Structure formats: structure tokens, C-alpha cells
Chain A
Amino acid sequence: MEASLRSIAGWGLPGAHPIELPAEPEEQGFATRLQQTRLIGPLLAASASGEVELPPDLEADLVERQHGALLWCIQLESRLLEVREAFDSAGGIEHLVIKGPAIAHLDALDPSVRTFADIDLLVAGRDIDRAVEIVQGLGATMPWVERRPGFNRRFAKSVPEAAFSDGVEFDLHRTLADGVFGHRIPLDRLFAQPDRLDIGGVSFGALNPPHRLLHSAYHLLLGSPEPALMNLRDLAGYLTDPTLTPETVVSEAELWRGTDVLAMAVDLAVERLGVASPAWTTWRAEHSIDPDQLAMIERHRREGSSLGRAKLDIARELPIRSRAAYLFALAWPSKAHLDDRSLTRRDALGSLADVAKARFG
């Protein structure tokens, strides 16, 4: 079944294998996996274009499931419009729409092909505390308060997910990746050269295409140990876009000090989906991965957002006063933060001691 899902993830991309359905596509597990991986949209689009023939019962089941996913996307975008109104009423919050909605509107064949589960916004650090207050004012709740006042604005990748009572979740991001790789991204550049998208008649800023490609690579490689098929499809789509050549993207990756992240993500997308991207394959053959960066990337992938050695990598690249504030917040979170997470002071110190032992022991 996994090979079949990979072939669907590559549908429509240059060089990708034709779609192969599993031997028993009507078994319930297949539709469920398609739904989990958000690949119903590409499969229905392939069916509509005549490139694959679906058993009628399966097609009806998939249309029904996609219908539910699309209604959810409408609900998410409607809430986004409400949040935007509140941002504007409060004098403005500098933000960009990232991930699902931006990809659906700017990169997918049609927004109905690319579904998503929540709303992600990149918010300028100086505005992030106000953005949290505004979203809370609309009824969203946060699972816990920040580690220390100012931590979200200065160091966090994102604020913990803001959840509304109807299940809509907003991720307010300060940067595009956790840890040292997120710290290295020149955030001002993202806001200085945005793309635009229209949602419900309102114009939103979004990352521009080279930034979207890089974000996609970072998310694919650093977001989880096992890359999600939809994220592979997103990145493969950028890599096979003739306007997004290494010449237009690698210089930006150098500014992010992330060429090794990009290289490893390119490997993943090309290998897993089998897409043909000659320019990127040539660049990849000429790019050697630095062993220190490789170790850092692997550590990051292993540990994710949990408190581990990867969290200390960022400290080495911070100016001394910021480093002290960062390490202090890791070691000594506020009582409110600990209470919200049902942790004790001893738990927090114990976790950090484990990290320090792993690092220096």
C-alpha cells in the first residue's frame, strides 16, 4: 500500500511513476490511509483527468471524505478572515500565511486538491505577544503560558497551538523551524519580499516562491523523523517547477545557512517520489554535506521539539546575553508554565541535567 500512496503523492509531477492502486483498493484501510495522508485530492484529480480508473464505490467514498475535508478548510479560512479582521482592528499585526492555505492557493492545481488541518501564520517577533492576546480575545485557549515572559518573542519557533472551541487550531510561528536552523533564518527577508494570495476577497502576504521551497524543505526534513507524503509532494512540486532553479534558491539557502538542510531534503523528495529534476540533481551531485551540519540535522530530527541536545545547538549561536536568557528559561521556567504542563521544578531541572550530561558527559 505504501508504494501506491507514494505513486499518488507523485501524481502529475515530471518523472514520477504512474499511479498504481493496491490489489484491493476497496478495502477500507486504503481510503483511510489516503485520508490520513491528505492524498485524496490528488487521486480524485488523477481520476478526473482519466489517468486512473477508480472502482465506483471507492470513488464515492473518497468524494465524501474529501467533501468533509473541504468543509473543514472553509471553516479554517473563515476563522482566518475573522482573525485578520481582529488584527486589523488592533492596529495591524505583521504576518504571513504559511503552509497549507498558502500552498493550496498558490501552488496546488486547485485549492480543493490540497487540504490542510489547521492555520499557520508566521508572525513578526515584535508582534507575537499581541497576536496571542488577540487570538485569545476571540476565544482561543493556549495549552500553557510561555516558559518565561518574552521567550516566545525572542527564542521560540512558535507559540503553543491556539485552539478554538470548535476544534480550529492556529499555529503562530515566530520562525520557520525549531532550534538552530530556525534561529539562522533571516526573518526580515521573509517579510520584505512576500508573495500575495487572496482568501475570501482579502489579500494576505505569503512567503515568496524561493522561500516557500526552502520552508518546504525545512518542514520535510526537520518537522518529523518520517517525512509526510504530502510534504514530499509539496517539495517535489517546487523542485520540478522550472522557475525555481538552484540559481534562484541556493543563494537564499546560503543566507539561511541551510544548504545542507536543503540538500538532504532534495535527496528525500527525489528518492521517495522518483521525480525528475535535472537541475537540482546536478546541484546535489556538486554539493557536499558538512559532517558537523549533518550531525546537527540528525540530532534535530531525532529529538524534534522535545528538550534535548539540539536545544543547546542554538545556544552556541546566540549572543552572550541572549544565550544566558535562553539557557535560564530552559533551566528555570516560570511556575505558571510548569503548572500548566503539570511539571515540577525538579522535572524541568532533571530534563536539562539529562541534556547537559548527554552534551558534556
Chain B
Amino acid sequence: MVFRALDGRAWVGGPRRDTVGIEGSALFVWLVLDQPESVGELAKQIRTVWPELGEITEPDVQAAIDSLVGAELVETTPTAASSGDAA
């Protein structure tokens, strides 16, 4: 996938797919997601990297992941320990 970022937004495209924009909490999730992680771990990473964002809850992260899954930018895999890892 190819991407560019500007002014708090990012756009992701690639061969034979539409380019989609990402912003808000979905952008932060996408930026930290360099390997499969649980929702809780992603929330922790976002709080560490961007403490100025305030409290990021797991439901916030889950909603962001759902939107990224809807845009076919990430996929989730079920695990025994949690409702799913995003990759």
C-alpha cells in the first residue's frame, strides 16, 4: 500500500484499490500498527506515543479498528486471549 499524510490526515491507496482517507483515532491506530497487536496493547501504545491526546479507551481503539477493517486496510484475527488482534 502507498500512503501520504498531511495536516492530521492520511490517504492510503494501492494497485487495483480505491484510495481511502484516514483521520482521527483510526489514523493513530494505523500509524502504530506495524505488527499484529491486541486492542489493549494498541491503546497503550497510542497513549505512550501521543500522551497529549488524553485518555484513549479500548472501545475507541476497537471502533477505529472496525473502520479500518471496513476500509480493507487491516484485518483482524481471533485469539484465545482477546476478542482479536489487528494486523
Binding site for B on A (CB under 8 A): 44, 63, 66-67, 70-71, 73-75, 77-79, 81-82, 85, 110-112, 199-201
Contact = CB atoms under 8 A, between A and B. Distances in A.
A82 B6 CA distance: 25
Interface string B2-33: 11111101011111110100000000000000
A161 B30 CA distance: 36
B81 interface: no
Nearest to A115: B4
B1 interface: yes
A123 B17 CA distance: 27
A112 B1 CA distance: 15
B2 A74 contact: yes
Interface in B28-72: none
Given A81-B14, A85-B15, A200-B14, A74 B6 contact: no
B2 A44 contact: no
A199 B15 CA distance: 12
- Scoring B4, B13, B19 by chain A CB atoms within 10 A of each residue's CB, the highest score goes to B4
Contact of A77 (B2, B16, B17): B2
Nearest to A101: B2
Contacts of B11: 67, 70-71, 74
Contact of B19 (A63, A71, A112, A200): A71
B46 to A, nearest CB: 21
B4 A63 contact: no
Contacts of B9: 67
Contact of A112 (B6, B12, B13, B16): B6
A63 B13 CA distance: 19
Contacts of A81: 2, 14-15
Given A74-B19, A201-B1, A44 B14 contact: no
A81 B1 CA distance: 9
